[in-house]
Structure 1
Amino acid sequence: MPITGIFRLPFAEQVAFFRQKINMPTEHYDDIIKSAHDRAFVVAGAAKADLLNDLRQAVDRSIAEGKSIGWFRKEFDAIVAKNGWTGWTGEGTKDGRDWRTRIIYRTNMSASYAAGRYAQLTSPSMLKNRPYWKYIHNDTVLHPRPLHLSWNGLVLKHDDPWWQTHFPPNGWGCRCRVTAVRADQYKGDRAPDDGMYEFVDRHGEVHRVPQGVDYGWDYAPGASVTALRANAIAKSETLGDGISNALRQQLARSEHEGERIDLQMRSMRTLQDVKAILSDIVAIKPEWLPHGVSQVVAANVDNVFAMTDSRGYFVLSTAEIPAAGGRSGLSLTLAALRKSQDGKPLDFSEEYALESIWHEMGHNRQAHQMLDSMPIEQRVIAESLRQTIARQTYPELLNMLGIEALHLLAIRTGGLSYTKSAGTFKNLLVEIGAMNPVTLALHAPILTSLQLIDQKATWNSMIQDIATVLSDAYPSKKVLIVETLHRLENRRYD
């Protein structure tokens, strides 16, 4: 199965983790094990400096640029030919070469991703607001490990010793991951005790390994780097001036390199942040995103925060939005996510950016084949309905992110998209008595009925379905309802 999704969208912490490694020639895969991989780049059997460096550059580009395994295999073939490398495990057959390249590619991708996530999860602001970690099993794995499945949904404190040996990946090909959650999501789970097994290495040494974890994988990728840096910072305060200053200079250079990488990767990290939080939502509320999250990309789209379709393809706009102070949907979404992690209130534009994400999540529940084939006239009423419902219900998303909705009324009245069409629909709801004229809150039974129509997304009957719901609730307003919806049916976007 090809690697897609999270491993195709790198982020700064992942790149920084990989680039701090040193090249280490090895003969066997277990010449170094566990946390030693945090500091060393190895390819079993690659003992020549030039060969190892060429392989490292190919892996680096795969991580930093989101290259596919197909691209990596072509690079691998060229590197093998250039360096005259022979005798490597898998040599001689296509299946062997495919297996070997898959091991190199996936192991470095998954370990660097896990280490990057570990750095994010252990940041002070994250630990303050989301001090618990949740284990998530990847349901797309064809042959899941039973114990990995049993750990799915397990919530433990971030400093529980269990994570020291069970922070994923927990073996070759493991695609499990960890997400941070708020304290109110902890329900008293205890670290499972699944026992140990003995593994005898090629030297005859016996190792005790937790059940469900492959030999050499019982460690948290990146933890030793994070701990080393924290210890170095603390140590620099206690040493003499000479060595202390030298250590501080090294740390400063490391910090500067991190800032440089962050500048280069900012847009990609933003997209990764959005995808990570959407993926977290899928894990907690799969009904909110039934089609999953296949891609999150950026595009220059005027006067739009975000777009999507029901295949799980999200687009964040990089275009400046005058009504949002010249900020883009991409930058506003990033600002909102960062503030939510720090527990800070959002301004109007940032809150509206997340409302736009919620709006698009509603489209994820609809069949894109229907959306693609829908006449433009029907799209107007469909979008007016979607916008109305999103502005009624987006506090559900903010609540999940730990954010208070401070601009609810302003967002209901100050939407940037389809203002005339959606405004006509809103005015109809107010006039017939289905919506409070002050708070613009829909009466609960009407909201529930309209949500069902929106999610069902049967375009050829949508207008009739809306008319029926409203007319049944307000029979004296039937003529007004039908006439207004008919006008919307024959309008273009405005």
Structure 2
Amino acid sequence: MPTSEASAVDLSYAIGLPPEEAIAYFESKGYAIGFKWQEVWAEAHARSFTVAGVLKLDVLTDVREALLQALQHGETLADFQKRLQPVLEAKGWWGRGQIIDQATGEIQGKRLNPRRLETIFRTNMQSSYMAGRFQEQLANAEARPYWEYVAVLDNRTRPLHRSLHGRIFRYDDPFWRRFYPPNGWNCRCRVRTRSARDMERLDLDASSSEGRMETVEQPIDRKGNTRPAPAFRDPATGKLFVADAGFGYNPGQAAYQPDLSRYPPALAKQYLQEQSAR
């Protein structure tokens, strides 16, 4: 049965830590440029750093470096904005509206403002931290093979995320390939690991996504355009769990080839088999 332990968990505590795996994940990213967020999709975000509407590589580099500094030094959103805002102001990229080349009329991008910086900061910090956590948890999967989905149970929690709170799947269940947090913009969910002894002591049951993973057409804009997205049919409610558009992938798994020597032999073998089948 699900547990309510640590129901008020918030990722804010992670911002004060410099997790090595999270920093390595962020540093491994290349660059991708797109005017709309839909142009750099899902797993591509795990391998490339992008900011929608920033079409100038030097500005994209400025934002990336400011995020890396914040991650390395455990800085806050205020620290991030304080460092980056003067740089953007000097280059004419701070405020609202589009940047247009006066000589050619070419659109070079969309300016950045506090609201956009907050989304950029929180999304990148949480994805990096969760990618690091995933690698750490995977390395310890032999001792703690049961993974529990933990949502923040307050009035800002999405109902679908709340519905998964306390649900437990094995680490190798396909559910985690698609729905390891974050599962949307400003998602605060996380994963807690459990040992076999925990499961018995707390009378917890593990779920399985076998036969319950589906693919749906998910709207990605206001024009009615859609893209295929993974979905989990919850046996408890009969409803589909679908991450926000552009999510539905595991950053820590999609970003890079793991060091297989760190993981249980059976898991390493499974990983190689899955990769060769793609």
TM-score over 0.5 for the alignment? yes
Q: Which deviates further from its counterpart, 81-90 or 146-155?
A: 81-90
C-alpha change, 1:162 and 1:3, in structure 2 (3 Å) is closer
* Match of residue 81 from structure 1: 89
- State the Cα deviation string for residues 68-123 of structure 1 (Å, max 9, x = none): 111212233212212222627985xxxx8232111100000000001000110111
For residue 144 of structure 1, give the secondary structure of its aligned residue in structure 2.
coil
Q: Does 1:219 align with 2:237?
A: no
- State the Cα deviation string for residues 232-260 of structure 1 (Å, max 9, x = none): xxxxxxxxxxxxxxxxxxxxxxxxxxxxx
* Match of residue 228 from structure 2: 207
* Match of residue 150 from structure 2: 136
Deviation at 1:25, TM superposition (A): 2.2
Deviation at 1:208, TM superposition (A): 3.3
C-alpha change, 1:36 and 1:228, in structure 2 (3 Å) is farther
Deviation at 1:207, TM superposition (A): 2.2
Task: Work out the CA distance in 1 between the residues paired with 2:230 and 2:171.
Answer: 21
Deviation at 1:7, TM superposition (A): 2.0
More strand by share: 2
CA contact (8 A) 1:38 1:224 kept: yes
C-alpha change, 1:119 and 1:64, in structure 2 (3 Å) is same
Match of 2:127 among 111, 115, 134: 111
Alignment of structure 1 residues 386-397 onto 2, 5 Å: none
For residue 38 of structure 2, give the secondary structure of its aligned residue in structure 1.
coil
Match of 1:158 among 150, 156, 171: 171
C-alpha change, 1:183 and 1:174, in structure 2 (3 Å) is same
Q: Does 1:33 align with 2:63?
A: no
CA contact (8 A) 1:28 1:45 kept: yes
More helix by share: 1
- State the Cα deviation string for residues 6-28 of structure 1 (Å, max 9, x = none): 12212111111101111222211
CA contact (8 A) 1:200 1:207 kept: no
Match of 1:47 among 55, 65, 85: 55
Task: Work out the CA distance in 2 between the residues paired with 1:4 and 1:201.
Answer: 28
Amino acid at match of 1:66: G
Deviation at 1:206, TM superposition (A): 3.3
Alignment of structure 1 residues 26-425 onto 2, 5 Å: 26-85=34-93, 87=98, 97-123=113-139, 126-139=140-153, 141-186=154-199, 187-191=204-208, 193=212, 197-201=216-220, 204-210=225-231, 211-227=241-257, 230=260
Task: Work out the CA distance in 1 between the residues paired with 2:117 and 2:11.
Answer: 13
- State the Cα deviation string for residues 14-73 of structure 1 (Å, max 9, x = none): 111101111222211121122211210111111112111111110001111111111212
CA contact (8 A) 1:76 1:101 kept: no
Where do 5+ consecutive residues of structure 1 fail to align? 232-494
Greater relative contact order, per chain length (Cα 8 Å cut-off, separation 6+): 2
CA contact (8 A) 1:3 1:69 kept: no
Where do 5+ consecutive residues of structure 2 fail to align? 1-9, 100-108, 232-240, 262-278
Task: Work out the CA distance in 2 between the residues paired with 1:79 and 1:106.
Answer: 20
C-alpha change, 1:122 and 1:12, in structure 2 (3 Å) is same
For residue 249 of structure 2, give the secondary structure of its aligned residue in structure 1.
coil
TM-score by length of 1: 0.42
**CA-based RMSD:** 2.7
Alignment of structure 1 residues 2-21 onto 2, 5 Å: 4-21=12-29
TM-score by length of 2: 0.72
For residue 147 of structure 1, give the secondary structure of its aligned residue in structure 2.
helix
CA contact (8 A) 2:46 2:251 kept: yes
* Match of residue 481 from structure 1: none
Identity %, equivalent residues: 30
